[in-house]
């Protein structure tokens, strides 16, 4: 429960009259709804310092360096990060909390050994680093995720959904066993009909130039946004994948573009939340990533247990029961496995033993 304690207890000027952690740490009533959003393989370095000047200037990774500098560059790291991620730094940093700036000794790491996607998402959503979860193969997860746990509770049954660009999520979430509505990769959007989803399904059926097993994030967001508008789930998992795809392709400019577009999608999602009665002031956002990447100019494109920096991640939170700590600058160690229990506590339930 390390992350929950950090998010909440540090803002309490006086301890509660009764100490019965962790629920007693909540400064207000639990949130009614929770959206968990992930940016696959997006480094803490860009979150907290914006575009890397060396990578912006390297034509190997940024073909049009002049344009990239105009779009993302600045001598000041705080200006760079605000240009890249305006929602993070103009909204989340003012009304929520951001963890993982290692320049202040504020560390977030994955606890699993492998430092790539399936093990990372498993850790994030189950609250444990499973040694047996060691590949990205399409195998049903033997672990119970938080989403599956919530789906089994009467108050959340039929109110849990997941949308992802990466097509392995039906297996990570064990869709067949869990009963969660999952839409991943280039699957048709079912269970609802709207002009947007009809057009989306038609585009996907037409066989667009798909980047491997990862759907374009813009299409994933359209599908998720329509589902939220029509079904209004209480719990949504939304996973974007183009940051990782662009990085593996060695395109730093496209990596930044994907991050900026996701930031804009988050702004749009938050605006919808705050202007919709079912969600307004009742919904918390948790935003994070599944793994880090190499730290150097030579190996930023990749990650894994033997690539330094791959275990380093970050977490952001925004919502009615999240303190406005901004960029947390205290020295501490958090782990990605804390996300599941923290998310459960945000909703007022307990999940697993941490």
Task: Extract the residue ranges of the chain whose pLDDT is less than 70.
Answer: 1-29, 207-212, 353-354
pLDDT at 17: 31
Contacts 24+ apart (CB under 8 A), 74-80: 74/50, 77/48, 77/49, 77/50, 78/50, 79/50, 80/49, 80/50, 80/51
Rg (CA), the chain: 19
Of residues 87, 103, 128, the one with CA closest to residue 287: 87
Q: What pLDDT is stored for residue 21 in this prediction?
A: 30
pLDDT at 210: 57
Which H or E run contains 335? Answer: strand 332-335
Tokens 């939304």 locate to 238
Residue 24's pLDDT is what?
30
**Residue 315, phi then psi, degrees to nearest 5:** -145, 140
Are residues 226 and 196 in contact, defined by beta-carbon separation less than 8 angstroms? yes
pLDDT digit string, tens, across residues 62-71: 999 999 999 9
Nearest to 221, CA basis, from 267, 179, 255, 180: 267
Topology (CATH) of 2-313+321-346: Alkaline Phosphatase, subunit A (3.40.720)
Instruction: State residue 198's pLDDT score.
Output: 85
Total-model pTM: 0.91
Alpha carbon separation from 5 to 26, 31, 101 (Å, rounded) = 9, 16, 18
Residue 223 and residue 198 in contact, taking contact as beta carbons nearer than 8 Å: no
């Amino acid at each position: 429960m390390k992350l929950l304690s950090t998010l909440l207890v540090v803002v309490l000027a006086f301890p509660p009259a009764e100490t019965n952690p962790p629920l007693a740490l909540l400064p207000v009533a639990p949130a009614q709804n929770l959206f968990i959003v992930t940016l696959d393989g997006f480094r803490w370095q860009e979150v907290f310092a914006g575009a890397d000047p060396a990578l912006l200037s390297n034509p190997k990774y940024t073909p049009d360096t002049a344009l990239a500098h105009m779009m993302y560059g600045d001598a000041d790291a705080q200006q760079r990060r605000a240009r890249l991620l305006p929602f993070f730094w103009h909204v989340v940093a003012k009304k929520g909390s951001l963890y993982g700036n290692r320049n202040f000794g504020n560390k977030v790491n994955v606890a699993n050994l492998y430092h790539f996607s399936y093990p990372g998402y498993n850790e994030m959503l189950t609250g444990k680093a499973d040694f047996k979860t060691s590949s990205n193969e399409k195998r049903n997860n033997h672990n119970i995720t938080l989403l599956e746990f919530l789906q089994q509770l009467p108050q959340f049954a039929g109110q849990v959904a997941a949308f992802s660009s990466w097509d392995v999520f039906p297996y990570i979430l064990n869709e067949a066993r869990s009963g969660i509505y999952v839409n991943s990769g280039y699957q048709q959007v079912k269970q609802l009909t709207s002009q947007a989803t009809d057009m989306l399904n038609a585009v996907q059926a037409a066989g667009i130039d798909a980047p491997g097993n990862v759907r374009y994030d813009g299409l994933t967001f359209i599908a998720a946004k329509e589902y939220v508008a029509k079904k209004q789930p209480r719990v949504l998992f939304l996973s974007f994948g183009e940051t990782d795809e662009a990085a593996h392709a060695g395109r730093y400019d496209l990596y930044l573009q994907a991050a900026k577009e996701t930031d804009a999608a988050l702004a749009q999602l938050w605006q919808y939340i705050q202007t919709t009665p079912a969600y307004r002031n009742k919904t918390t956002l948790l935003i994070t990533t599944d793994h880090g990447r190499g730290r150097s100019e030579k190996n930023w494109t990749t990650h894994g247990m033997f690539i330094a920096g791959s275990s380093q991640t970050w977490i952001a939170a925004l919502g009615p029961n999240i303190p406005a700590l901004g960029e947390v600058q205290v020295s501490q160690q958090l782990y990605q496995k804390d996300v599941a229990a923290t998310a459960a506590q945000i909703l007022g339930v307990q999940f697993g033993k941490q």
